Amino acid sequence: MIALKNIHFRYKKGKPLFENLNLTLEPGFIYGLLGKNGAGKSSLLKHIAGLLYPDSGQCTVFGFDATARKPAMLEDIYLIPEEFSLPPISLHNYVKTNGVFYSRFSYNQLQAYLAEFELPENAKLSTLSYGQKKKFLIAFGLATNARLLIMDEPTNGLDIPSKSQFRKIMVSALDEEKVIVISTHQVRDLENLIDNVVVLENGSIIFNHNIGEISEKLAFEYDLAGVPADEVLYAEDLQGRKAGVVKNISGHDARVDLELLFNGIMKNAAAINEHFASYKYEY
Ligand SMILES: Nc1ncnc2c1ncn2[C@@H]1O[C@H](COP(=O)(O)OP(=O)(O)OP(=O)(O)O)[C@@H](O)[C@H]1O
């Protein structure tokens, strides 16, 4: 389990970013960390990886204090940062040099992921395109079998087929021991992939619910004509019509439209959260 407790943090000379931030991440789930540019997603991920130290509060990763960055914790974390550079060596050498830091590293899995991403095993890293490098890092990260996989904007630079390969691979890689955190502002890329939606805004978590609960409590409509106003939690223009997030009173789980949900949370988190707090479905 990963637990951030009462985290306070400010960058030097900046205003406070996190003020009493609390978050728990459980194994067996994929978390989507969503937020606009500058919301604090990367900073939060760096706290989890022990790369930024809180001014006060604590982050524990599988029982370890993240800031201590003990080897036993580090072999259980793999972070794919938004910006990265790879050395000008062969893919094979990179794997040989870096795979040893992860006691559960699997070459067989790596080969399978590389094949899925259509990456040549004998490539030189410097000759790969940005998207191919990203896919290599995703394949390598998964093959480490680290229990915590943190990905900052993993779909940036991936083409459309690669995005579906990414979704397929991520779903197959999840097991009951793993925690996967994917941060992005490209919310559509996480559709049908994540189990939990965590939304950050100005350093605060303004929404944190699992998809099952969301699909039970909310519905997503593409034509709000005829929907009673008191059921509408958020509305936006969609090609001459109104689309939006509404209270789910059907008794059936709805398909979650992450983009509409995200827009709704950005515009009216209070109404959506209030509905979550008050909602009780009568069976
Ligand atoms: N090294 C730094 N020094 C000072 N301020 C910083 C630093 N890094 C980030 N910030 C500030 O902290 C806030 C959060 O930044 P962060 O990179 O965590 O956001 P983000 O949600 O990941 O954004 P994006 O989606 O654009 O990557 C922003 O206001 C940013 O300007």
Q: Does the domain at residues 29-38+70-202 carry the CATH identifier 3.40.50.300?
A: yes
**CA 154, 159, 162, 163 torsion: positive or negative?**
positive
Question: Three-class SS of residue 196?
Answer: strand
**Cα angle at 78 between 72 and 80, to 5 degrees?**
155
- What is the identity of the amino acid at 8? H
CA 156 to the chain's CA centroid:
13
Whether ligand 1 lies within 6 angstroms of the CB of 85 is answered as: no
Whether ligand 1 lies within 6 angstroms of the CB of 41 is answered as: yes
Q: How long a stretch of residues is the chain?
A: 283
Distance, in Å, from the CA atom of 224 to the CA atom of 212, rounded to the nearest integer, reads: 23
Q: What is the pLDDT of residue 123?
A: 87
Question: Smallest Cα–Cα separation from 77: which of 25, 114, 36?
Answer: 25
Residue of the CA atom closest to atom 10 of ligand 1 = 11
| For the CA of 184, the nearest atom of ligand 1 | 25
Ligand 1 center to 121 CA (angstroms): 35
Ligand 1 center to 153 CA (angstroms): 14
Question: Smallest Cα–Cα separation from 148: which of 92, 102, 186, 95?
Answer: 102
Residues 145/104, Cβ–Cβ less than 8 Å: yes
Q: Where are the beta strands (DSSP E) in 50-101?
A: 56-61, 64-65, 77-80
Q: What is the pLDDT of residue 228?
A: 92
- What is the identity of the amino acid at 37? N
90 strand-pairing partners = 124
- The Cβ of residue 99 has, within 10 Å, a number of other Cβ atoms equal to 15
Q: How large is the angle between the packed helices 91-99 and 107-116, nearest 10 degrees? A: 140
Q: Where are the beta strands (DSSP E) in 11-111?
A: 16-25, 29-34, 56-61, 64-65, 77-80
Tell me the domain boundaries of the chain. Answer: 29-38+70-202, 210-278
Distance, in Å, from the CA atom of 129 to the CA atom of 131, rounded to the nearest integer, reads: 5
Ligand 1 center to 42 CA (angstroms): 7
pTM to 2 decimal places? 0.93
Question: Smallest Cα–Cα separation from 247: which of 261, 264, 230?
Answer: 230
Distance, in Å, from the CA atom of 274 to the CA atom of 283, rounded to the nearest integer, reads: 21
**Could you tell me if the ipTM is greater than 0.90?**
yes
CA distances from 194 to 104, 170, 191 (A): 25, 10, 7
Ligand 1 center to 266 CA (angstroms): 18
* pLDDT one digit per residue (tens) for the chain, 283 residues: 999 999 999 999 889 999 999 999 999 999 999 999 999 999 999 999 999 999 999 999 999 999 999 999 999 999 998 888 899 999 999 999 999 999 999 999 999 999 999 998 888 999 999 889 999 999 999 999 999 999 999 998 888 988 988 998 998 888 999 999 999 888 888 988 899 999 999 999 999 999 999 999 999 999 999 899 999 999 999 888 999 999 998 888 889 999 999 999 999 999 999 888 876 654 4
Whether ligand 1 lies within 6 angstroms of the CB of 38 is answered as: yes
Ligand 1 center to 43 CA (angstroms): 6
Residue of the CA atom closest to atom 2 of ligand 1 = 11
Whether ligand 1 lies within 6 angstroms of the CB of 39 is answered as: yes
Residue of the CA atom closest to atom 30 of ligand 1 = 38
Q: What is the pLDDT of residue 251?
A: 81
* Token pair belonging to 169: 């691979």
